[in-house]
Amino acid sequence: MGFTLDHDVQPGNGMRVVQLTPPGLACSIVIGVGISAPNAAPVQNLHLVVDDLDAVHAELVARGVEVSAVSELGGGVRHAYFSDPDGNSWVLQQITRA
């Protein structure tokens, strides 16, 4: 998805921690395996706010990611949805402010 891989460690006991930073942003996302309950459900509806949803959508499709069509929710809010290989669901969100 074009994220920068900041950190990827496997300290043992089946644990893995990955830290990723979306392009052009200073905030990161941390995903961990083995740091929560072993049978925990995937995370649902993690939001990634983007400036240009159409461009991000096109890039993900070009990379082979199955992404929903863009939904117009009204009030300047648009969404598209996808899931990662671990079953976590993601929402791409664009908010246009007048």
pLDDT value at residue 81: 95
Question: On the CB side of 12, how many CA atoms lie within 13 Å of its CA?
Answer: 0
pLDDT value at residue 34: 67
Would you say 46 and 89 are in contact if contact means Cβ atoms under 8 Å apart? yes
| Concatenated DSSP letters of 23-62 | TT-S--EEEEESSS-TTPPPP--EEEE-S-HHHHHHHHHH
42-77 residue pLDDT tens: 778 788 888 899 999 999 999 999 999 999 988 889
pLDDT value at residue 87: 84
- CATH class of this structure's domain 41-98: alpha beta
Q: What are the residue boundaries of the structural domains of the chain, listed by start? A: 1-37, 41-98
